[in-house]
């Protein structure tokens, strides 16, 4: 009788410790990274760098200053663009005519206004938040 009760308790204890140990072991999964994924990541980095380089243009800096937008805000916004937004932005930029810098600035301003309306930023004081 004593052996049976002891064996049962020991079996329960061993089963519980086994479950605890198994659930704590992290499972690692390795897979190959394909060339398209690597190229896409590199292209996104290049696209982001091209947008940041456009901010060095004196015309862009003058336009941003005349609109009261600081360069650091634009840089921060470019760095926070998602991959889809970055791809869409660069597609619009590539389709723009040679003087499309003004279009880029207008697009950035529209992005600022939308994020101000969604209460994500507070760049323009005349834009009211719609989520409040």
SS3 for 126? coil
Q: What are 52-101's pLDDT values in tens digits?
A: 887 787 877 887 777 777 888 888 887 877 777 777 777 777 776 655 66
CA distances from 128 to 10, 65, 67 (A): 67, 22, 18
Q: How far apart are CA 108 and CA 75, in angstroms?
A: 11
> The whole model's pTM is what?
0.46
CA distance 104 to 92: 9
Token pair belonging to 123: 């760049």
Joined together, the tokens standing for residue 107 give 């697009």
């Amino acid at each position: 009788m004593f052996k049976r009760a002891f064996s049962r308790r020991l079996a329960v204890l061993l089963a519980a410790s086994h479950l605890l140990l198994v659930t704590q072991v992290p499972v690692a999964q390795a897979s190959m990274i394909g060339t398209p994924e690597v190229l896409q990541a590199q292209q996104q980095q290049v696209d982001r760098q091209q947008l940041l380089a456009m901010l060095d243009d004196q015309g862009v800096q003058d336009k941003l200053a005349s609109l009261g937008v600081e360069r650091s805000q634009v840089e921060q916004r470019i760095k926070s663009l998602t991959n889809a937004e970055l791809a869409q932005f660069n597609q619009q930029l590539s389709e723009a005519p040679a003087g499309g810098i003004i279009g880029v600035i207008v697009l950035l301003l529209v992005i600022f206004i939308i994020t101000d309306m969604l209460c994500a930023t507070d760049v323009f004081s005349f834009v009211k938040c719609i989520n409040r």
